[in-house]
Every structure is written in structure tokens, then in C-alpha cells.
Amino acid sequence: MPHEQFQSCIDACNACATACDHCAASCLNEQDVKSMARCIELDMDCAQICRLAAGYMSRGSRFAASLCRLCAEVCEACAQECARHQMEHCQRCAEACRRCAEECRRMAQSASA
């Protein structure tokens, strides 16, 4: 089964999507929501592409490696934005995004080799 070889990346993508959903929802409850707009936007983009990448890997799509390269890029952007904010949900999200970016890069590299 193709998904088994990428299971750690699939798990990282799913965990990242969940962290991003939680972060976006929590940001909406912050006192100055306007200042969190970029964070919320990236959280939503990141959650979507992580779920998409997990699905592509699960199906063994030939486009999974390409998608994972893009996913890593989005995760990095989200991690950088979240890291700027001191709230715990943002810090946890940044951590999940970094972990996912690392897994996605590894997956894309091994799939291309």
C-alpha cells in the first residue's frame, strides 16, 4: 500500500491541519482580531493544503510529491507568521507547521529519488 511508506508525513499533515484549524478559531477570539487577519488567512490555507496532501499520499497519487513540496512552502509561511504571535495556540501551530514542512520535504525527496 502506497500510503504506508508516507504514514509519518500523512500524520504530520493531519496534525498540522488540526493545529491550524484550532489556531484560526482561537485567533478569531483574540481581542484585536484585525491584527490576526494574516495569521487566520495562512492557517486556513495551510489546513486546506495539508488535508489535500494527506489525501494525495493516501491514494498514492503521482502528484503527491509535487503537492508536498508546495505544502512545505505554505507550512513554512504559516509557521513564520504564527511564530510572531505570543499566544500559546499560535506557538503550537508554528511548531506543527515546522514539523509538517520537514516531513513534506522528506517525502518529496524520497518520492523523487
User: 11-35: b or e for each residue (b if 16 or more CB lie within 10 Å)?
Assistant: ebbebbbebbbbbbebbeebeeeee
Q: What is the pTM of this model?
A: 0.94
Among candidates 99, 103, 109, which has minimal Cα distance to 66? Answer: 109
Place of cell 491514494: 59
Report which residue type is found at 56: Y
* The total number of residues written for the chain in this structure: 113
Q: Where are the domains of the chain?
A: 2-112
> To 5 degrees, how large is the angle CA 83–CA 85–CA 86?
100
How many Å apart are CA 18 and CA 27, to the nearest integer?
14
pLDDT of residue 110: 87
Tens of pLDDT along the chain (113 residues) come to 456 889 999 999 999 999 999 999 999 999 999 999 999 999 999 999 999 999 999 999 999 999 999 999 999 999 999 999 999 999 999 999 999 999 999 999 987 66
Give whole-number Cα distances, 10 to 26, 27, 33, in Å: 24, 25, 31
Classify domain 2-112 at the CATH topology level: Substrate Binding Domain Of Dnak; Chain:A; Domain 2 (1.20.1270)
